[in-house]
């Protein structure tokens, strides 16, 4: 005869927390799911019934009941996962973002706007961060940035003698106007 997995006796604080999280619309979906699993288990439902109600696998239900029995509400938190650690920690990413936000001329650069290549060269030479421009693009994209190149008509002209070099403007209409009948 199989042994039924049951959740341990809940404290009043745990019961209140589980009820709040299981009904929440603003918490992460995985947290709501975990709270629902524990709440249903505390009501005496079996693993199979909980799995059908919450629409998850029985193995997942067993995992969360076991973790809750061992660690309580702290067991809900995601544990560190295996895999390669991030190449760039928060500090270099912060430097990349802060540099991209700064006017290049304030940093002693001879240009008015950043490109990925210019930003990469500056980060490699001045900040000592070994990084490629494709990774700079990925970092800024992950931060929610959308990169635009500066249009020549946008903002201040790069060449202060532009108007003199351009010469006088030509009239946009010719002397011959058509008559409308």
Profile the chain (181 residues) by mean pLDDT over runs of 10 residues.
75 91 90 93 92 93 92 84 83 91 91 89 92 88 74 59 73 62 61
Structure-token match 């970092």, residue found? 139
Tokens of 48: 């199979």
Q: Are residues 71 and 95 in the same domain?
A: no
Q: Is residue 53 in a domain? A: yes
Helices of type H across 47-89: 47-54, 58-71
Q: Is 98 helix (H, G, I), strand (E, B) or coil?
A: helix
Q: Is residue 4 in a domain? A: no
Q: Are residues 103 and 129 in the same domain?
A: yes
What per-residue confidence (pLDDT) applies to 114? 87
Domain interval for residue 45 = 12-76
User: Cα separations (Å) of 94 from 9, 88, 142, 170?
Assistant: 46, 10, 12, 49
Q: With beta carbons less than 8 A apart as the criterion, state whether 76 and 68 touch.
A: yes
Catalogue the E-assigned strands of the chain: none
Q: Is residue 42 in a domain? A: yes
Last residue of a domain, one of 47, 76, 105: 76
Q: Are residues 16 and 71 in the same domain?
A: yes
Q: Are residues 64 and 97 in the same domain?
A: no
What per-residue confidence (pLDDT) applies to 50? 93
| 0.75 surpassed by pTM | no
Q: Are residues 57 and 109 in the same domain?
A: no
User: Cα separations (Å) of 89 from 23, 74, 79?
Assistant: 36, 26, 19
d(CA 168, CA 142): 47
Q: Are residues 67 and 116 in the same domain?
A: no
- The structural domain count of the chain equals 2
What per-residue confidence (pLDDT) applies to 158? 64
**CA–CA–CA angle 77, 82, 86 (5° rounding):** 95
What per-residue confidence (pLDDT) applies to 59? 94
Q: Is residue 17 in a domain? A: yes
d(CA 81, CA 105): 43
Q: Is residue 168 in a domain? A: no
Q: Is 105 helix (H, G, I), strand (E, B) or coil?
A: helix
What per-residue confidence (pLDDT) applies to 1? 40
Q: Is residue 3 in a domain? A: no
């Amino acid at each position: 005869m199989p042994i039924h997995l049951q959740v341990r006796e809940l404290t009043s604080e745990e019961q209140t927390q589980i009820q709040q999280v299981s009904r929440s619309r603003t918490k992460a979906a995985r947290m709501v799911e975990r709270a629902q699993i524990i709440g249903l288990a505390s009501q005496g439902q079996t693993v199979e019934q909980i799995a059908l109600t919450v629409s998850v696998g029985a193995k997942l239900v067993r995992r969360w009941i076991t973790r809750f029995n061992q660690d309580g509400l702290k067991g809900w938190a995601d544990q560190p996962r295996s895999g390669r650690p991030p190449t760039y920690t928060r500090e270099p990413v912060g430097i990349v973002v802060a540099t991209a936000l700064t006017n290049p001329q304030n940093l002693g650069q001879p240009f008015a706007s950043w490109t990925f290549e210019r930003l990469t060269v500056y980060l490699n030479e001045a900040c000592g961060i070994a990084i490629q421009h494709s990774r700079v693009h990925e970092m800024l994209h992950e931060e929610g940035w959308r990169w635009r190149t500066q249009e020549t008509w946008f903002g201040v002209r790069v060449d202060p003698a532009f108007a003199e070099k351009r010469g006088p403007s030509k009239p946009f209409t010719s002397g011959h106007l058509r008559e409308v009948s």
